[in-house]
Amino acid sequence: MIQARIPLRDPDQPQAPARCAAAVPVLIITVVAVLDRLTPVGMSWLPLLAVGPALAAATCRPCGVLRIGFIAVAVGAVLGVLGGAPVHEQAIVLSALAAVTLASCLASLLRQRRERVLAAVRSVAEAAQNALLRPVPARVGQFQVAVRYSAAAAEARVGGDLYALVPTPYGIRLIVGDVRGKGLPAVSTAALVLGVFREAAYDEPDLLDVVGRIERSLSRNLAADDFVTAVVAGYPRSGRMELVNCGHAPPLLVSPSGVIPVEPTRPAPPLGLASLGGETPTLQVVPFADGDQLLLYTDGVIEARDQDREYFPLMERVPRHICDEPSRTLAALHDELLAHVGGRLHDDAALLLLRKPVSSGVPAAAEVRMS
């Protein structure tokens, strides 16, 4: 699957930036020693040697902090003797350095433990993401597929946007949606929607019945003010793409005639709000020939703002990057999106691109099955 992931880091494995940062305490001790030798008698810089082990606690293991502390104490003792400081003053300075070193060792040990807990939590988040947003192969049946997903809470790597693509007896079916809200409640709702969709997509011959089952499940489980916007799509037969849009941003159909937003013929409310009345979802059929592509996305993409509060112009950017490789197209779009917002998204964002190759040469029986 084409999806950016953050590799987990072993907190006990030193990294290059950490090794560079570990040299800073030694540099500080060196600078303090030089200052102490260059300043007149009577002015002592030795207490500043404690900065070395204190700073080492943020980047080094306890044994590394001890080494930095030993260097600080040794330098302090030598400078004290060379400067002719009274014995009791030297004893106070060296005792302070030793105490700071021990306290820094304890801080380093506690930091390591917290990093291990964080690594464990991140591994759980990784497992949750794989269970919730299952990896999508680069090719499913006749189609090339690419996915890009970025959670606003980058540390968690899961959010309220959802997507799924499943081969079924009724053709390829997929969903892209956006849960109202953020955090764990949004993740729980996304899991509910995806679970119902994956089951209904196999069972229901009609795409509207798939949407109906999701609606009934949400009406039983969501609060009154919660909802999910979504586009459910299916490819039941050659040259025909079916779409059901429930309050979601319109997909973009990419064909030789250009990039066209597929606006719903009759707008329907988001999933979970059917009890409030309004239009019911309708099935929309659009031509989908060889070489055509369908881009589905969430609000986090088109509502991303730059420093001038301008929205990300997805319609303008797609023609610049569209190509025969969906993964390359989405990688370029995702890079432009991050550049537009200055490197950090403030809302979950998902992109799913489906392409029908000009000549796939893959029989229907060879479709990839995903559990």
CB contact at 8 A, 58 and 100: no
Domain identity same for 140 and 266: yes
Looking at the fold, whether 301 and 204 belong to one and the same domain comes out as yes
Quick one: DSSP state of residue 58? T
- Shared-domain flag, residues 161 and 116: no
Do residues 49 and 74 both lie within one domain?
yes
* Helices within the chain (DSSP H only): 16-38, 51-56, 62-83, 87-132, 183-203, 207-221, 299-302, 314-321, 326-341
HSE at residue 286, side-chain half, CA atoms within 13 A, is: 22
153 and 120 share one domain: no
Q: How confident is the model at residue 244 (pLDDT cuts 50, 70, 90)?
A: very high
pLDDT digits 0-9 by tens, 309-318 = 999 999 999 9
8 A C-beta contact, residue 280 and residue 274: yes
Predicted local distance difference test score (pLDDT) of residue 347: 81
Chosen domain end from 104, 126, 148: 126
pLDDT surpassing 60 at residue 192? yes
Is pLDDT of 157 > 70? no
Contacts of residue 43, defined as CB under 8 A and 6 or more positions apart, other chains included, come to none
C-beta of residue 237 within 8 angstroms of C-beta of residue 171: yes
CATH code for the domain in which residue 318 is found: 3.60.40.10
pLDDT at 363: 46
Question: With the C-alpha atoms ordered 28, 34, 37, 39, is the resulting torsion angle positive or negative?
Answer: negative
Establish if 208 belongs to a structural domain: yes
Kindly state the tokens that stand for 189.
């709702």
| Same domain assignment for residues 74 and 161 | no
Residue 1 located in a structural domain: no
Q: What was the pLDDT predicted at 365? A: 39
Strands of the sheet containing 349-355, edge to edge, are: 139-140, 143-150, 349-355, 293-297, 252-255, 258-261
For residue 238, what are the domain limits?
Answer: 133-366
pLDDT in tens, 222-239: 877 789 999 999 999 888
Percent helix, percent strand, percent coil in the chain, to nearest 5: 45, 20, 35
| Number of structural domains in the chain | 2
Residues 91 and 203 in one domain: no
pLDDT of residue 259: 94
Residue 371: pLDDT over 70: no
Query: Residues 163, 266: one domain?
Result: yes
The per-residue pLDDT of the chain, averaged, comes to: 84
Band of the pLDDT at 155, cuts 50, 70, 90?
low
**pTM, entire model:** 0.69
Q: Which is more confident, 184 or 252?
A: 252
Phi, psi of 59 (to 5 degrees): -130, -20
